[in-house]
Amino acid sequence: MYKKIKGININHITYGNKSGDDVVLLHGWGQNIDMMRPIGDRLKNKFKITIIDLPGFGGSSEPKEVLSIYDYVDILKELLEELNIKKPNLVGHSFGGKISIVYSSKYDVEKLVLLASPFCKEIEKLSLKTKVLKKLKKVPILNKLENIAKKHIGSSDYRNASETMRKILVEHVNLNVIEDAKKINVPTILIWGTNDSEVSLNRAYELENLIKDSAVIEFQGCTHYAYLERLDQTVNIINNLFTGGNYE
């Protein structure tokens, strides 16, 4: 399904329990809807699931100008208004998590789950197509997704990406959203792999100190894709949070 928002065709899917609370899933850099479906598919009996291909990824068209994180947030807000989603439960991985931080600081959100979400400048570059695909082979559940990932995970790596997407990446990597994180006042869970080499576990605890009502849950031995490496545990945590669970 497509919606044209600010001149960009946004691909999205909505499925699951039509009378359930809204859950919106946002993927990481260079990824797509398919990378968040393993979560959505396991929550669909209770919740109405919406997964979005962010502009420039998957089936969504590439922006014609450089978008900031705040531009992505504005596009997301307009899209959710078009879909009549007023106060979603929001789940974001990596780049999608950074967007989720800013969105939750500005607009109504029921509850928030951040999966290895950067919020300040990282020394290491975020994974692009080649690096991501190498990591996918090491994650059991993602072996089945590898062919999909090759097709949809991004049109190219940094060297071959369009000038616009390269500039967007640079702006994203360098952007600090600490002040935005401080404004979040909804229950928030931070799920992090202890072996995350993209956004270190230390960042999780820094973020926990910024967000008032938040808690870190460590996945021992897991990487930047901890949410998929321990999918059942991830889904249980999300389900409990969104249905009133307590992790204090």
In tens, the pLDDT along 122-178 reads: 755 444 444 555 555 555 555 555 454 444 444 334 455 788 998 998 899 899 999
pLDDT score for 227: 96
- Say what the pLDDT of residue 39 is: 98
Residues 6+ apart with CB under 8 A from 147: none
Question: To the nearest whole percent, how much of the chain has pLDDT over 90?
Answer: 77
Q: Where in the chain are the domains?
A: 2-242
pLDDT digits (tens, 9 = 90+) for 73-112: 999 999 999 999 999 999 999 999 999 999 999 999 999 9
Contacts made by residues 105-111, CB under 8 angstroms, sequence distance 24+: 105/177, 105/180, 105/181, 105/182, 105/183, 105/184, 106/73, 106/77, 106/180, 106/183, 107/77, 109/186, 110/21, 110/22, 110/186, 110/242, 111/186, 111/187, 111/188, 111/241, 111/242
| CATH superfamily, region 2-242 | Alpha/Beta hydrolase fold, catalytic domain (3.40.50.1820)
Instruction: Give me the pLDDT at residue 247, please.
Output: 45
